[in-house]
Amino acid sequence: MSTTYQLDTATSRAHPTPAPMRRLSIPAIRQRKANGVTAEPVVMLTAYTARQAQLLDVHCDLLLVGDSLGQVIYGLPSSVPVTLDMMAAHGAAVVRGSWHAAVVVDLPFGTYEASPQAAFASASRLLKETGCDAVKLEGGAAMAETVAFLNQRGIPVMGHVGLTPQAVNVLGGYAARGRERAEADKIIADARALDAAGAFAIVVEGVVEPLAIEITRAVSCPTIGIGGSAQCDGQVLVTEDMLGMFERVPRFVKRYAAVSEVIAGAARDYAAEVRTRAFPGPDQTYQPK
């Protein structure tokens, strides 16, 4: 069962009790773009755990429980093996750790493509078990019917076009898309189809910049760029990339911190103090009265 909306404020890990009605709504995000103009860009970061959500929440409009957790959290080679159980568990944690940003949970590969009905079963499970506000799915025109089906049945959907990591076995890798005009036209048509089907926003990943700008102009809903353009209506990064948790820094990532060095340094100092019996010291031990 979900424990959505209950935040424990009694521990140091907890965030203040949320006011659920103050969470940003999906229509409010959608309405950020009006008549083709987005005055205030949409800020999205990935989150996979409650504590991460607590730290990111106030700064973000959207928290994405991305299936990138397959690689980032589970050490999997791609997002293909990620399961609905994983997404449900992490989605619930992120909802518990947030009160301001709207939470979007990725539908993992294999749980939505076969039919709109299959997508509804998976997406409704995520909404019920996590308390999330919307789901995200990958794919363009082929997914438009599914997006409309979910939307008409109460499930807001974020689309995802361009480089779609779940299709890595078809695409053959993670290189930027849309360098050829024919592929660029297909990606624009994909985005248009999702927009017409009622997607409230569309992630535009790993495309050449002029294409990201074209897509942003072509659709009425906000585009969220990652490896796109500053002219998209919003941006998303994988938080661990942005924090500098990994040695590899893809071109589209900007590091805002060097957290891997902080963690390694703390572990090194802890190990040294354990080995020299400097830890625990008087401040960390209990004495009889």
203, 224 contact by CB (below 8 A): yes
Main-chain dihedrals φ then ψ at residue 65, nearest 5 degrees: -85, 90
Rounded Cα gap, residues 101 and 128, in angstroms: 18
Of the candidate spans 66-74, 89-97, 110-118, 151-159, the one that interacts with ligand KIV by CB under 6 A turns out to be 66-74
- Rank residues 7 and 82 by Cβ distance to ligand KIV and give the closer one: 82
Minimal CB distance residue for ligand KIV: 66
Three-state DSSP class for residue 262: helix
Q: Please tell me the count of residues contacting ligand KIV according to CB under 6 A.
A: 11
Rounded Cα gap, residues 53 and 41, in angstroms: 20
Helices (H) and strands (E) in the chain, counts: 11, 10
- Rank residues 18 and 244 by Cβ distance to ligand KIV and give the closer one: 244
Shortest Å, Cβ 172 to ligand KIV: 19
Q: Hey, what amino acid is at 189?
A: A
- Rule CB under 6 A: say whether 108 interacts with ligand KIV: no
- Rule CB under 6 A: say whether 221 interacts with ligand KIV: no
Which token pair is 266? 């703390």
- Rule CB under 6 A: say whether 140 interacts with ligand KIV: no
Q: Out of 40, 180, 183, 205, which one is annotated catalytic?
A: 205
- Rule CB under 6 A: say whether 243 interacts with ligand KIV: no
162, 177 contact by CB (below 8 A): yes
Q: Which position among 57, 67, 129, 195 is part of the footprint of ligand KIV (CB under 6 A)?
A: 67
Burial of 218 (0-12, 13-18, 19+ CB in 10 A): middle
Known catalytic residue at 205: yes
- Rank residues 174 and 279 by Cβ distance to ligand KIV and give the closer one: 174
* Residue bearing tokens 């294409």: 211
Shortest Å, Cβ 140 to ligand KIV: 15
- Rule CB under 6 A: say whether 236 interacts with ligand KIV: yes
- Interstrand relation of 102-106 and 134-136 (parallel, antiparallel or unpaired): parallel
Shortest Å, Cβ 213 to ligand KIV: 18
Q: Residue numbers of the site for ligand KIV (CB under 6 A)? A: 46, 64, 66-68, 106, 203, 205, 226, 236, 238
Question: Annotated active-site positions, please?
Answer: 205
